A and B are shown apart, each in its own frame.
Chain A
Amino acid sequence: MKKLFFSAILGGLTLASCSSDDDLSTEKAEIEVPATYSFERNNTSTVSYSGQTTRIEMASEIFSNFLNFDGASEELLLDMFANENAPFSSADLNQSSKSVKSKVAASKLYFSSNTVESAEIRNDFESFIEVQFNEVKENKDQLAEAGKAGQIAQGDKARYVNSKGLEMDQAFTKGLIGGLLVDQMLNNYLSQEVLDEADNRANNDAEVVNEGKAYTTMEHKWDEAYGYLYGDPSIPSKNPNAALSDNDDNLLFKYLAKVDNDEDFSGIAEEVFEAFKTGRAAIVAGDYELRDEQVEIIRTNISKIVAIRAVYYLKAGKEQLANGEYGAAFHSLSEGYGFIYSLRFTHNPETGAPYISSNNVTQYLEDLMEGNGFWDVTPETLDTISEEIAAPFDFTVEEA
């Protein structure tokens, strides 16, 4: 009801103020945002993000093999990361020309003229695999202690850590949320450099569709951003939030749901979804300013999710350490490590840069790994990092 009233005012104002204008303006005033993420042209869906789903599936298979010390190997996981030598169980994935690695730290905005750093980041992910299948694997049947890799108990579970208490699978998975998903979404597909590249606007205005496809290039780029958040096969494409509490996602969507579950941030999932729908509808209507406003909303909120989870796990780890629950603490801190890694890929719309700079991220990670790493990290260090991460955002450490 409120919404209808609002659009009525809006339509009225727009028409009244532009009497001399052509019919383009009325079109823009009538942007219809559908209830679900469904967009069609001539009765054919224009929504497509299979490439994102492919990469998410590849990532899932890597994660599921990280602790498979007997069945998997360093070579196999490195092959999966780069999609070389048919490493996956699915022939479709093996035949795909895509790989996770080629899109890690590969956004147009942050890395197109920064391939040196991009290569370092890809090396980091490869080194998580290498450490897992060397240092950690060699000690998999020994108890971990300060300076020594091995097992550590968390409840009835055995966690596997390196000599500093870090779980490599957590560093890899949570780091990939930033390095692949957030970076591609916020800094590639939602950037004007990509959405508006070459004749994209003119072609979108004239509804020039891609060869053999139902969508315009710009529509597709937007969907590709959408796919990095909602592309896991267990998430329904049109109404993803229906699966918030029940899905198999291991990446960003999973943590969107967790943050949404925290009453301090409830509604964030809806806000992000609304922004995706509105932006997509704005593209259909050729309203690029409205589109870019949605980009800001998405950039702000997705960045915030990463930061909230980084702080959340540092806090949890601090408390668990205080209680002497080392296994639980190391698990939390390992997740935190990955989310901190991911902060480098966030995007602050006010600066056009990450909320936390690359240098600061590196510094935090070094602080955590200093000496014997999680075995002797102090509560003060964890507090300081938490405060600094929360500072540029509109949430407090307590809320996270």
Chain B
Amino acid sequence: MIKISKLLLIATLLFAACSTEDDGDNGGGTNGGDNFDRGEMLANWADNIIVPSFVSFQVETQNLEDLARAFAENPGDTELNALSSQYTAAYQEFQTVEMFQIGKAEELNYRRFLNTYPTKTEEIESQIASGSYNLELPSNFAQQGFPALDYLLYGYGSTEETLEVFTANPEYINYIVAVAERINNLTSEVTASWQGDYRDTFVNNTSSSSTGSVDRFTNDYVMYFEKILRSGKIGYPAGAFTGSPSPENVEALYAGEISKDLYLQALDSFEDFFYGVKINGGENGASYFQYLKYLENETDEESITASIAGQFSAIRAQSSELDNNLKSQVQTDNSKMLAAFDELQKEVILLKVDMMQALSISVDYVDSDGD
């Protein structure tokens, strides 16, 4: 027994010692220098998905700001209802761009300013009471964006009750306008950057190194799926990491009924992006799906695209069991939320391990799980 293990040890050491240097490069796949047209894929992403998504979203944020101002001018229930329904529409549309945290969006901390939840309600109240606040501060991530509007528009009860709160102190409405305006301004900035120089910077950086656009974007894209979509929308409320469900961590906590729709929209947009679905129609463009297909032709590995597609179906099938209000779902039967998390996590592994290895992209972020 001992002899065998020593022999094995020798064999192993010899093998290890004799292996050549190319173990060192990322994943060591066969496609270090594949001929897939990364530039075409980047152009499709930018021109047919990212830019049109931001353009559509900006229409919504402009509308949101306009309706907030209209409400400020004339604080009646019609105006409040119009504003509230625009909040819902814009929040929904936001799910189509939330994953694009690169370039200007990254620089501005766009996602944190627009969608940090749970929102800090006490601090919102004290800022309103004092009438003094600076929404540009990072310490104010959780006092603005959609979660703050969610609280202000749905946190006080019925339309009348809400109007009562607002008329008691006009600073409430000023705060709503400031938040809506900031959402719109940040969105304009990001959209303008994509419509300006950043598009070319992004598309022309076709390098296959870790600083190339495909590598960097892919890390952001997969991280979004893992941290924002899986953990943020499902995992944290379900208590998947702590074992203690926390319904207060649901997205759109106060509006409630829209939380599942937001999740599903995020999922749809993410999946469409994988397939290169163009926002304005037409045949699908160059995408992760095509890239993986292209690589699959060269090897006879198990089909990664089939696994990823199958898992998207599994996630969707599971989601049909979820209540429209994810907060209620956590409170009534959290195991369904955990089941949703489990399906999402299986996709994380396919994307983060299988897909990224196939594409020879190394993961540049880790789970923050330390003891």
Contacts and interface: CB of A to CB of B under 8 A. Distances in A.
A52 B371 contact: yes
Contacts of B338: 115-116, 118-119
A388 B18 CA distance: 44
A293 B243 contact: no
B13 A101 contact: no
> Main SS of the interface on chain B?
helix
B12 A115 contact: no
* Size category, B interface: 35 or more
Contacts of A217: 366
A14 B17 contact: yes
A329 B4 CA distance: 42
Given A98-B371, A114-B342, A224-B371, A290 B334 contact: no
Contacts of A28: 13, 16-17
B20 to A, nearest CB: 9
Given A13-B14, A115-B342, A289-B15, A49 B241 contact: no
B9 interface: yes
Contacts of B16: 25, 28, 287-290
B14 A115 contact: no
B10 interface: yes
B341 interface: yes
A29 interface: yes
Contacts of A239: none
Given A116-B338, A198-B364, A14 B244 contact: no
A119 B241 contact: no
Interface string B123-166: 00000000000000000000000000000000000000000000
Interface string B5-30: 01011101111111001001000000
A115 B348 CA distance: 14
A354 interface: no
A55 to B, nearest CB: 8
B243 A104 contact: yes
Interface residues of A, number: 46
Given A114-B342, A198-B364, A82 B244 contact: yes
Interface string A48-65: 011110110000000000
A357 interface: no
Contact of B371 (A49, A112, A119, A202): A49
A140 B239 CA distance: 35
Most chain B beta-carbon contacts within 10 A, residue among A101, A114, A119, A290: A119
22 contacts: A9-B10, A13-B14, A17-B18, A28-B13, A55-B371, A82-B244, A102-B242, A102-B243, A104-B243, A112-B349, A113-B341, A113-B349, A115-B240, A115-B342, A116-B335, A116-B338, A119-B243, A119-B334, A199-B363, A217-B366, A288-B16, A289-B15
Ranked nearest first, the 8 interchain pairs of A and B with the lowest CB-CB distance are A51-B371, A113-B345, A25-B17, A115-B338, A198-B366, A122-B243, A116-B338, A115-B240
Interface of B: 6, 8-10, 12-18, 21, 24, 238-244, 334-335, 338-339, 341-343, 345-346, 348-349, 362-367, 370-371
Given A25-B17, A289-B15, 19 more contacts: A18-B14, A21-B17, A24-B17, A29-B13, A82-B242, A98-B371, A99-B242, A102-B241, A106-B241, A113-B341, A113-B345, A113-B348, A113-B349, A115-B342, A115-B345, A197-B367, A198-B364, A199-B362, A199-B363
